[in-house]
Each structure stands twice: as C-alpha cells, then as structure tokens.
C-alpha cells in the first residue's frame, strides 16, 4: 500500500510571481519520498538499510529558499533538453535557434529558467502524483507549445518516473530527474565506498567544455568499463580519474531494461536503475565544493553524491548519428525510469 499526502511547503518570492508550492509525500513500507510542485523536485528519499533503519539518501535543502536560489539542480526535473547543447545553437527545418548560454559556451539543462525553476500543476493519484505544465512556444528559445506531464508513482520498493510530452511544432526534448544520491545517507562525506555497475558497451568522449566529440567509444580496456561492479574510490585512483560526468550509451530499445546498479556495502543499500531511455549520464558530484548548506546543516563536498540521469545523448540535436531527440506534432514523447531500492 502506498499513501499519498499533500501539504504546503512555501510560497514563491513575489518577484517570481508568488504562488503556493506544495509538497507531496509518497510512502510505502520500504520507501518514503517527498516531491515539490516547484521543479518536480525530489527533496527527500528515505529507504531502509539491512537493519531496517531508514535514511534519507538524496541531497537537498530544508526550505524552499534553498531551491529558489542557485544550486546544482538537486532533485529536479530538467528540460526542455537535459544536458548540454553546443554553443546553445541548433538548426531545424532551415531555421537556426539560439538558446541561453549558461554553462561555459553551451546551454545546459534547459537554459536560464528551465523546467527545474517553475511551478507545475499537481494532481494526486492513488499511489503518486502527476505534474503538468505548458512550456510556451519560444520559451528559452525552443520552438512549439510543449505540453508536459511528469508522473511519480511509488509501489513497494520501486519509484517510477514517467515523462510524457506533446508539441505544436517540431522541437528537441530530453527530460530527466537530477537527484543526487548517497546511499550512506545524505550529508555523508563521499561515495568512494559505493560499488557501481553500468550496462553499457560504449560511452561518449567529450571536449573540454563537456560536449561530446561525436565519437562513440568502446568502454573495453578503459576506466569507463563499468560492466562489472567497481568500488568508486579505488577505481578513481586506478585510472587517475577526477570523477565521471559522461553519457553511457545504453542498448537501444523501447522496453524497460536494467541499466545501472549501485551497492553500498556498509549499509547494504542497493539501488537499481531501469529505463526506456537511450542514455544515462553518470555524474559524481565533481563540482560540489562544500559551499552549500544542505538538509540538517549538512555540507556537500566534492564526490559526496552521484547522479544517474537517464536521458537522450547530450547535443543529439546537433549530431545526426545520435539517437533522435526531435518530437514532431502528432507524436508523443513517452519515457519511464524506475528506481528500485533494496538491501543486500
């Protein structure tokens, strides 16, 4: 049984148009998750360790103010296009579009005011919550009126996130959730003792602005071969890595498939990621620097969390040999990611 509760969480600042932000609490026997109507943000995700003790395993803030200020997309749904678009530019049907550039020379996670920084309209479901918004034609430079639905449902140990969208004009779209996880519990110092595996035979090498070069490189014989579990800290040392911020290329197909697994031996917590998406961005919190005051006054230093963002490949709109990122009128964008929490 999943229970769903809604409560007030705060009000948007007047300069942001005011507006009530609600929090939705989804609870099963083994998982408890809190989600805001602002940015569809997962603020809390509590799951059991092998002794049955609950801990919150996602980074975030205690108050709305933390989320309305600048932060690295903690827990949020990002779009219209997750990840980076080179130089914030793309061409469609002979027309060039210029987006807001907010990450070096590139556009990142939807631009200046992406889906993570807006209020969504909520609807309570028997075992979850569905959020809706209309992204108007021209918002952040993107073409077409885009109707978007993001649905969170909790069933036992499994949190499902479904993304649906329809557009009035052809537009690129790639949606993901940007939760930062630490299976030892948020506020823990690092994720070096986590063991991770990713079901990917290839990854995308990037240039010094984190844009894929266009090459689809085999993981075999490199530090990107995560097909068998590796302990992160030791793996960083072995391959002299400063961390990961790369897209791993998943086996293509529309069906649900297991794409990543993380195990934390000290607590026994495991997290599996299943998805219908063609890519997963593995990010190890390389830019966290301890400057943000998080939940319970925790600070979040470098490598104190990891993200597994299921999505299309970065800059796919400018790379015809990458999976199709365009949504046309009359079509439906529909992808689901499932997070399954267990103990071992």
Catalytic sites, residue numbers: 178, 309
192 is in an annotated binding site: no
d(CA 38, CA 67): 9
207 is in an annotated binding site: no
Q: Which two tokens stand for residue 325?
A: 């990122």
Element (H, E) at 134: strand 128-135
76 is in an annotated binding site: no
d(CA 270, CA 194): 10
162 is in an annotated binding site: no
d(CA 62, CA 23): 12
245 is in an annotated binding site: yes
180 is in an annotated binding site: yes
3-state secondary structure of 94: coil
Backbone angles phi, psi at 66, to 5 degrees: -60, -40
d(CA 267, CA 183): 8
Q: What is the DSSP string of 183-250?
A: TT-TT-S-STT-EEEE--SEE--B-TTS-B-S--EE-TTSTT--SS-EEHHHHHHHHT----EEEEEP
Closest CA to 142 of 116, 113, 105, 185: 113
Overall size of the chain counted in residues? 344
Q: Which two tokens stand for residue 196?
A: 């991770």
199 near 259, Cβ under 8 Å?
yes
Q: For the beta carbon of residue 255, count every other beta carbon within 10 angstroms.
A: 8
Furthest-apart CA atoms within the chain: distance in Å: 60
Q: Which two tokens stand for residue 149?
A: 């639905």
d(CA 310, CA 194): 19
d(CA 329, CA 12): 33
Q: Which two tokens stand for residue 155?
A: 């069933």
Annotated binding residues for beta-D-galactose: 83-84, 178-180, 245
Binding site: residue ranges?
83-84, 178-180, 245
């Amino acid at each position: 049984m999943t229970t769903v509760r809604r409560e007030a969480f705060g009000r948007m600042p007047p300069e942001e148009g005011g507006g009530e932000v609600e929090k939705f609490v989804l609870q099963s026997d083994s998982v408890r998750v809190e989600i805001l109507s602002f940015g569809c943000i997962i603020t809390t995700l509590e799951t059991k360790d092998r002794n049955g003790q609950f801990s919150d395993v996602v980074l975030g803030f205690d108050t709305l103010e933390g989320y309305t200020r600048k932060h690295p997309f903690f827990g949020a749904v990002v779009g219209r296009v997750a990840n980076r678009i080179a130089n914030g530019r793309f061409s469609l049907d002979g027309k060039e579009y210029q987006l807001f550039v907010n990450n070096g020379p590139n556009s990142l996670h939807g631009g200046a005011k992406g889906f993570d920084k807006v209020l969504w309209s909520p609807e309570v479901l028997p075992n979850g919550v569905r959020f809706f918004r209309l992204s108007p034609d021209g918002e952040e430079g993107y073409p077409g009126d885009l109707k978007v639905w993001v649905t969170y449902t909790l069933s036992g140990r499994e949190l499902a996130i479904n993304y649906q969208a329809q557009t009035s004009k052809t537009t690129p779209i790639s949606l993901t959730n940007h939760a930062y996880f630490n299976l030892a519990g948020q506020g823990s110092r690092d994720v070096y003792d986590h063991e991770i595996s990713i079901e990917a035979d290839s990854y995308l090498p990037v240039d010094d602005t984190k844009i894929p070069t266009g090459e689809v490189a085999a993981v075999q014989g490199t530090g990107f071969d995560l097909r068998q579990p590796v302990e992160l800290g030791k793996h960083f040392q072995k391959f002299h890595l400063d961390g990961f911020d790369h897209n791993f290329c998943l086996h293509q197909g529309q069906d649900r498939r297991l794409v990543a697994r993380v195990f934390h031996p000290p607590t026994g917590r495991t997290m599996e990621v299943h998805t219908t998406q063609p890519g997963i961005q593995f990010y190890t919190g390389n830019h966290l620097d301890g400057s943000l005051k998080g939940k319970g006054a925790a600070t979040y230093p470098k490598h104190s969390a990891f993200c597994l963002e299921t999505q299309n490949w970065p800059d796919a709109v400018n790379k015809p040999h990458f999976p199709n990122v365009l949504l046309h009128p009359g079509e439906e964008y529909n992808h689901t990611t499932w997070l399954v929490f267990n103990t071992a």
